[in-house]
Amino acid sequence: MTALTLSRLPAPVLQALARPAFLIGGGIILMSTLFALFPAAFAPYDPLAFNYAAIQQPPSLAHPFGTDNFGRDILSRVIWAYRIDMMIALFATIFALLIGVTAGSLVGYHGGWADTIFGRCVDAVITFPFLVLVIAVVAMLGPGLINMFVAITLVNWVYYARLMRAEVMTQTAHDYVSAGRVMGYSSGRIIFRHILPNAITPVLTFWMTDMALAILLGSSLGYLGLGAQPPLAEWGVLIAEGRNFIFTAWWMSLCPGIAIVLTGLGFSLLGDAVADMLRPKG
């Protein structure tokens, strides 16, 4: 960004941009995105190449994160796993976000019987523990990345919709919404042009945190063998591969674990900074 475009931003956004939460969180996510887009440029070795001459080597200069039981370079596998796990962060949440925001806005604004039916559906979904329900859906559809996205979206949209509905209901009580009605604006215009920009902030913040949770969930399912399938490099899969060697080759599980924690932290910090930036004044 050039100095000219920066100086055009309003002061509160500039202040939020200078906060450590944004700088650290944004830095981590930027780095993760680069790893995900261009893993070949960062990874020193082929993540799938066996090397029987270097099996389960501890971290060294040649292999900073060590090697696994087939002699594959852990650092390279962790970097290639960014591609899968960032994909999980995005695709396991974005459709839930879109469906949830639309459904939540409509029922929150119109209320009535649609809201009642919506409420019962939400109750039915949140009765089950989240992970149990996702595992049940994946078990029905069969393991694999795409089915995992479908399963998470089916369960997860409810949380976005519930949050959005409550925010929209709060905003609808404001007189600017009545003013829009008195102006003769269509309900689509009122919901999406007037209410949505005022109601979306908590949902966007939740989205950032949820991406961290999605990575954890994706890794958990990968660990359980329900998500990404070996030999694909995915953090959960990597941790699962190392679990039999936890006392002899601890780096096999620890290094992908650190990557999960770091990425999760990045999304959380970024979420905080975004919430600050989007908060309306006055």
Partner 1 sequence: MTLHPNPLFSIQDLTLHFPLTRGLADLVLRQPAREVRALNGINLEISQGETLGIVGESGCGKSTLARCLVRLLDPTSGTIRFQDQNIANFKGTERQTYNRQVQMIFQDPYSSLNPRMTVGQILDEALRVHEMRPETERPARIAELLDLVRLPRNAAEKLPHEFSGGQRQRIGIARALAVEPICLVADELVSALDVSVQAQVVNLLLELQEELGLTVLFVAHDLRLVRHVSHQVAVIYLGSIVEIGPSETLFRAPTHPYSQALLSAAPSLNPEERHDKPAISGELPSPLNVPAGCPFHVRCPLATARCTSEKPLLKPLPGGGQAACHHAETSVGERKQ
Give the binding site for partner 1 (CB under 8 A): 174-176, 178-179, 181-185, 189, 193-194, 197-198, 280-282
How far apart are alpha carbons 159 and 133 in whole angstroms? 14
Q: At closest approach, how far in Å is the CB of 281 from partner 1?
A: 5
Least spacing, CB of residue 191 vs partner 1, in Å: 13
Q: How far is the CB of 268 from partner 1 (least distance, A)?
A: 25
Q: Specify the residue, 56 or 198, whose C-beta has the smaller distance to partner 1.
A: 198
Mapped onto helix, strand or coil, the DSSP state of residue 73 is: strand
Of residues 239, 121, 109, the one with CA closest to residue 177 = 109
Contact 172, 108 (CB under 8 A): yes
Asked if residues 39 and 80 have their Cβ atoms less than 8 Å apart, the reply is yes
Is there a contact between 207 and 97 (Cβ–Cβ < 8 Å)? yes
Task: Closer to partner 1 by CB, 156 or 205: give it.
Answer: 205
Q: How far apart (Å, rounded) are the C-alpha atoms in residues 269 and 205?
A: 10
Minimum distance, C-beta of residue 279 to partner 1, in the bound complex (Å): 10
First-to-last alpha carbon distance for the chain, in angstroms, is 29
Angle at 239 between CA 234 and CA 245, to 5 degrees: 140
- Please give the Cα distance from 79 to 234 (Å, whole number): 9
Q: Smallest distance, Å, CB 204 to partner 1?
A: 14
Beta carbon nearer to partner 1, 13 or 139: 13
Nearer Cβ to partner 1, position 60 or 116? 116
Structure tokens at 173: 């009580």
Q: How far is the CB of 192 from partner 1 (least distance, A)?
A: 13
Beta carbon nearer to partner 1, 7 or 53:
7
| Smallest separation, CB 275 to partner 1 (Å) | 15
> Which C-beta is closer to partner 1: that of 3 or that of 173?
173
The b/e string for 146-179 (b: 16+ C-beta within 10 A; e otherwise) is ebbbbbbbbbbbbbbbbbbbebbbebbeeeebee
Smaller CB separation from partner 1, 69 or 198: 198
Computed over its alpha carbons, how large is the radius of gyration of the chain?
22
